[in-house]
Amino acid sequence: MSDQLSRAFAALADPTRRDLVARLAIGDATVGELAAPYDVSVQAVSKHLQVLERAGLVSKGRDAQRRPVHLEAEALGELTSWIEKYQRRAEERFQRLEALLTEISSTTRTTTQPNPREGRTT
């Protein structure tokens, strides 16, 4: 599981592979279709797809002729779950800190209010 997470994050650490994910989000596509807009060979795209496939982010269809590549949205969900868990925890801590600072500053304001003997001279 941990290794699968590492593989998935590593798979997304490349602009071309992220482009392929973005393209596959629109719909399944064959390797040839995926390679068409790029200035790279079908072989190069195939290699990138292999990395995505080993990471569980895409799968190949069973249609023997076309073997369309399919994006595994659930696997993407596991990545966001991992990140969001810690993101949320850090944000909650920040909010508590902020609330504490607001409390301290309002307490300080109360205790440093102008001395009534010095003020209201009119």
Binding residue (CB under 8 A) for a second copy from 32, 82, 99, 102: 82
3-class SS of residue 11: helix
**Cα–Cα distance for residue pair 97/100, rounded to 1 Å:** 5
How large is the angle between the packed helices 42-54 and 2-12, nearest 10 degrees? 150
**Cα–Cα distance for residue pair 43/106, rounded to 1 Å:** 65
Return the range that interacts with a second copy (CB under 8 A); candidates 36-44, 84-92, 99-107, 112-120: 84-92
Site for a second copy in 4-23 (CB under 8 A): 5-7, 9-10, 12-15, 18, 21-22
Task: Answer yes or no whether residue 77 interacts with a second copy by CB under 8 A.
Answer: yes
Query: What's the Cα-to-Cα distance from 12 to each of 9, 18, 62, rounded to whole Å?
Result: 5, 6, 25
Residues in contact with a second copy, shown as a per-residue x/- string from 37 to 76 under the rule CB under 8 A:
----------------------------------x-x--x
Which DSSP symbol is given to 115? P
Task: Answer yes or no whether residue 104 interacts with a second copy by CB under 8 A.
Answer: no
Q: Which residue has the tokens 């807009």?
A: 37
Using CB under 8 A as the criterion, which residues of the chain lie in contact with a second copy when the complex forms?
2-3, 5-7, 9-10, 12-15, 18, 21-22, 24-27, 71, 73, 76-77, 79-80, 82-87, 89-91, 93-94
